Amino acid sequence: MALSAAVILSGCSEDFTLLSPISERNVESFYQNPTDFTVAINGAYSTLAGNGAYNRSYVLLHEMRSDNTMNGGGNTGLAEVFFRLAHFSELATASELSSPWTTAYQGIARANTILGRIDNLDDGAFKDRIRGEALFIRSLFYYQLGVLWGNVPLQLDEVRSPNVDVNQVSADVVYTQIASDLEVAQGLLPSSYDAANLGRATSGAANTLLGLVYLTNGQKAEAATALRRVVSSGEYQLVDDYANLWGVQNENNIESVFELQYKAGGTDTGSQFTDYYTPFGDGGGVGAGNAPQVLSPDIEYIHSVQYGIQENDERGFGGTWGFSVENGDTTNVWVAKWESTPFGPGDADNNFPVFRYADVLLMLAEAVGEGAEGYNLINQVRTRAGVTPIDASTPGTWEEKLLFERRLEFITEGKRWADLLRFGVAKPVMASFAPLVDAGLSQADIRLLYPIPQREIDVAPGEMVQNSN
């Protein structure tokens, strides 16, 4: 069955709503053949592509939390929620926290049900692939839960009763479980798919996530091993021109390692994340008309005078950024990489690149550390952007240079906050971020973890412990 956008996002909705882990009506008779498992795994993918994950929540929770963006619509109404995210004052009762939490555990439950029923299939390549996909999806959700909330419930089995122990564990335990699952998944998944199945997880995607998880857990040697598998596979390379990464016409290119598929004009099949970066008046996004522009790119980030962006860097103005000029001043800056033809709110064609090969190269540089190999990996990405190589004589520490490169390369792709956490610099970086300085915040005000949604604490008193920072 083709994994088209319609199938991923809504094609299985009528069937899959009957497959919830509790109070099922037909679950016992459903997981019997390849068609059933294809529908089920597509339903698991749909949670990744939904508004509670990469289509909305992860953009907000990662980018707005970082020094890449500012809240752009005041601080009342809906904008107040986003203002609080940007200023580390969010409430545990906020829907912007409960939605991604609930979505993650819905996706995990779907994956667990598939894994619990997988032996209904005959042994073979299809069974292996479905198992690998379910492990990958579950792992990606648990990675997000670990980064955003830290200590979270770890559920690995199909839930068949409403009375289940919470089993809140440390983030280290979560990452260890993810790594174990992905070591299995990368050996089960194919290296590529035909055109009808674009968007499914490959062995390259599993190894890329595995490398990221190992880095997050401080296991650099293991990360290097996983990431070298991706490099040596020969399946990926950098797109020659950075500008050719973006736009519907360039989707699923040679650099794409894992990409969520969207298509405007269907029922809940379009992408919404583009709404948060479009210029005012661009056909109905959040930034259009009188609605608040939720994320405003940080002008300080853009100005080359402060950050030393080379003038010919393709990731600057005209590449990543679009802008208007009024009376000689730069105004109304937006993210050009997400531009699309006019669309309705939450209904764009743009796919979301969860992992690109540039990420593989820069994470491998992070894993191997400063030296000839590390600089060569960074410079592959820099050369594609049209800028000069760097080396040990370039000002700054190795970590500063690597973080700077990742910031340029992945702006608005939902990586900056996790990068700041992984490098251990979130508090000093954010405490020196001009909008937060102006608001009077200090390092003591910078929360490294989000509050666990209050309803999760309320329904499991004494079992779920709230984050203290």
Contact predicate 159/109, CB 8 Å: yes
- Write down which residue in 335, 360, 384 finishes a domain: 335
Give the burial string for 74-92 (b: 16+ CB within 10 Å, else e): eeeeebbbbbbbbbbebeb
Residue 356 sits at φ, ψ, to 5 deg, of: -115, 160
Question: Does 371 map to a domain?
Answer: no
Q: How far apart are CA 439 and CA 87, in angstroms?
A: 8
What are the angstrom distances between the C-alpha of 463 and each of 100, 165, 429, 460, 466? 21, 8, 34, 5, 10
| Angle at alpha carbon of residue 25, lines to 22 and 29, rounded to 5° | 105
Domain co-membership, 171 together with 49: yes
- Write down which residue in 335, 354, 375 finishes a domain: 335
Question: Does 183 map to a domain?
Answer: yes
Question: Does 284 map to a domain?
Answer: yes
Q: How far is CA 84 from the centre of its chain?
A: 21
- Write down which residue in 311, 335, 359 finishes a domain: 335
Longest dimension (CA), the chain: 69
Question: Does 88 map to a domain?
Answer: yes
| Number of structural domains the chain divides into | 2
What are the angstrom distances between the C-alpha of 460 and each of 96, 102, 171, 210, 278? 21, 15, 19, 31, 41
Task: Tell whether the torsion through CA atoms of 144, 148, 154 and 155 is positive or negative.
Answer: negative
Domain co-membership, 56 together with 169: yes
Question: Does 254 map to a domain?
Answer: no
Give the burial string for 112-124 (b: 16+ CB within 10 Å, else e): bbbbbbeeebeee
CATH number of the domain that residue 40 is part of: 1.25.40.390
Domain co-membership, 169 together with 57: yes
Domain co-membership, 52 together with 167: yes
Question: Does 158 map to a domain?
Answer: yes
Domain co-membership, 177 together with 301: no
Question: Does 97 map to a domain?
Answer: yes
Domain co-membership, 292 together with 174: no
Per-residue pLDDT of the chain (469 residues; tens, 9 = 90+): 333 333 333 333 333 323 344 334 467 789 999 999 999 999 999 999 999 999 889 988 998 899 887 765 556 666 787 888 889 999 999 999 999 999 999 999 999 999 999 999 999 999 999 999 999 999 999 999 999 999 999 999 998 777 778 899 999 999 999 999 999 999 999 999 999 999 999 999 999 999 999 999 999 999 999 999 999 999 999 999 998 898 888 999 999 999 999 877 777 777 776 666 655 444 443 333 323 344 444 444 443 333 444 555 566 544 444 444 344 444 455 566 766 665 666 677 888 999 999 999 999 999 999 999 999 999 999 999 999 999 999 999 999 999 999 998 998 899 999 999 999 999 999 999 888 988 999 999 999 999 999 999 999 888 999 998 6
Q: Give the residue numbers spanning the domain of 316.
A: 273-335
What the block records as the tokens of 374 is 């590390």
Q: Which amino acid is at 208?
A: T
Question: Does 457 map to a domain?
Answer: yes
Segment (H or E) for 256: strand 256-260
Domain co-membership, 166 together with 41: yes
Domain co-membership, 330 together with 183: no
